[in-house]
Amino acid sequence: MSERSEFTVESGSVEQRLLPSAEPVRLIDQHGVAHEHPQYEMPAAQTLAGGYAQLVTGRRINDQAGALVRQGRLAVYPSSHGQEACQIAATMVLGAQDWLFPTYRDTVSIVSRGVDPIETLTLLRGDWHSGYDPYEHKVAPQATPLATQLLHAVGVAHAARLKGEDTVVMALCGDGATSEGDFHEALNFAAVFRAPVVFFIQNNEYAISVPLSKQTVAPSLAHKGIGYGVPGERADGNDLAGLLAVLGSAVAKARAGEGPQLVEAHTYRVQAHTNADDASKYRDDAEVTPWLERDPIKRLDAYLTGLGVLDDEAKQEATRAAEKVADALREGLMQEVQPDPAELFEHLYTTPTPQLREQAAFLADELAREEV
């Protein structure tokens, strides 16, 4: 009898601890109007003003990168246009000791973490390495395979806990990644070992051309945490204030030893998956238009202007700072890269095999003959 009682699940406590809110947390609506929330407080106005400047820079990076693709200076660019609030909030809530594990769509988040924009785009330019030192800013290389970075993130978080470090790991992914086995394995391992990691899903409604309705029938993606004992929460992904409140709370809980947290941001992929995609093949403009009105920059602009915190000079300063970043991107990525063929053979083995040395010597000889 006592053994059975030990394993009895009290449904009420489970709902309180694990289930997300019925509606996504929203502190500022699309008209710039503030709303009180019983659990989450509005961030300080100056914090939001700093976030506004980062949103403007993030939007400019997205637009400039798109132009660089059309000019042949980038091989590909998965834009986060319209999702900038998620990108910025994910790093604003982190401390210097924390780690960020980004996907291929999280360029703006990486830059907001302090990584040089040109180094950030090196991978998408077509180089073989990530372009930056992951340890300098505690930002892992951008992951192209879906959800594989989540397992790496959990490993880093688990190691930090074992070493007694005050580290939280922010693991980014999209809604498509939640259909991958790696997502579920990462949540289960993190929950069992109470790894201090925040799984942050940017639900932009599409996995390339597959709509969310074809991926899952769960009430929300945040509900998926309950199967692993991971608390879930939902937030309006275009509301920087709501995201800062929800993600800030999740990071604090993970740091306090409460184990992994799962946050789903409801947002929308305004542009195509990448420059190689034609979104008109699977959705029409009428679907996109409402999301343009929910733009994260417009709503924060309206809110902060109404408070008197954001004036014309502050907006112009944010625009000037964003243009400075765009100028640096254009100048840096217009420089021609001289690839070194010898790099083909580097970093494959600690000690190169005889076959590899033979191939490298053969290529070097061929190249030398061309120069004669």
The pLDDT tens digits of the residues spanning 313-369 come to 999 999 999 999 999 999 999 998 888 899 889 888 999 999 999 999 999 999 999
Rounded average pLDDT over 58-81? 96
The pLDDT tens digits of the residues spanning 101-138 come to 999 999 999 999 999 999 999 999 988 888 999 999 99
Rounded average pLDDT over 158-181? 97
The pLDDT tens digits of the residues spanning 257-273 come to 999 999 999 999 999 99
Rounded average pLDDT over 135-162? 97
Report whether pLDDT(195) > 80: yes
Report whether pLDDT(1) > 80: no
Exactly one of 273, 294, 299, 303 is catalytic; name it: 273
Q: What is the pTM of this model?
A: 0.93
Mean pLDDT of the chain: 95
273 classed as catalytic: yes
132 classed as catalytic: no
CB 205 within 8 A of CB 211: yes
Exactly one of 37, 137, 194, 282 is catalytic; name it: 282
135 or 8: which leads in pLDDT: 135
59 classed as catalytic: no
SS3 274: coil
Report whether pLDDT(10) > 70: no
List, in order, residues 6 or more apart from 144 with CB less than 8 Å away. Answer: 103, 104
Exactly one of 26, 81, 269, 294 is catalytic; name it: 269
In this prediction, residue 8 has a pLDDT band, given cuts at 50, 70 and 90, of: low
DSSP H stretches of helix in the chain: 2-6, 11-18, 45-70, 84-92, 107-112, 117-120, 122-125, 134-137, 148-162, 181-192, 240-255, 285-292, 296-307, 312-333, 354-371
Range in 7-21, 161-175, 291-305 with the lowest mean pLDDT = 7-21
Instruction: Tell me what pLDDT residue 370 has.
Output: 84
